[in-house]
Amino acid sequence: MSAAQNRLTPAPVRQDAICMCATGRACSSFAAGHAVHLIQSRLVSATPGEWVDAIAVASAADGTLTIVTLEGREIELWNGAGAAASVQRGAPVAFHPRYHALHAGGRLFNVLAV
């Protein structure tokens, strides 16, 4: 006689789809506002004419960063990888709206326009 097999249904096997940055660890998602993907990095490099120059005007502890373009348009961005914490108020930044990227302080960030 064989032992009964323990068959798990898909429901208990699934894990919560939560990014590691929500728990203070490194980003595990490439969605807008999370980690920069290699392809995203290459796309922004291949489209240099689409960068928009701006100035950082405010940042919040929740990862929100407000920038103002040189034309005066205010854009609120969110990043879970620390963009708001690493950009000083008044610092020049460059925003790539098509590929949701922010270049600030010598780093490239994946951002979500909110």
25 pLDDT higher than 50 = no
Give whole-number Cα distances, 21 to 27, 80, 85, in Å: 5, 6, 14
Per-residue pLDDT at 76: 95
What is the number of residues in the chain? 114
Strand-by-strand arrangement of the 74-78 sheet: 107-110, 101-104, 92-96, 52-59, 64-69, 74-78, 112-113
Is there a contact between 14 and 62 (Cβ–Cβ < 8 Å)? Answer: no
pLDDT classification of 93: cutoffs 50, 70, 90 = very high
18 pLDDT higher than 80 = no
Per-residue pLDDT at 46: 96
Rounded to two decimals, the pTM is: 0.73
74 pLDDT higher than 80 = yes
pLDDT tens for each residue of 1-11: 566 665 555 44
Separation CA 57–CA 65 (nearest Å): 8
32 pLDDT higher than 90 = no
86 pLDDT higher than 60 = yes
Higher pLDDT, residue 47 or 81:
47
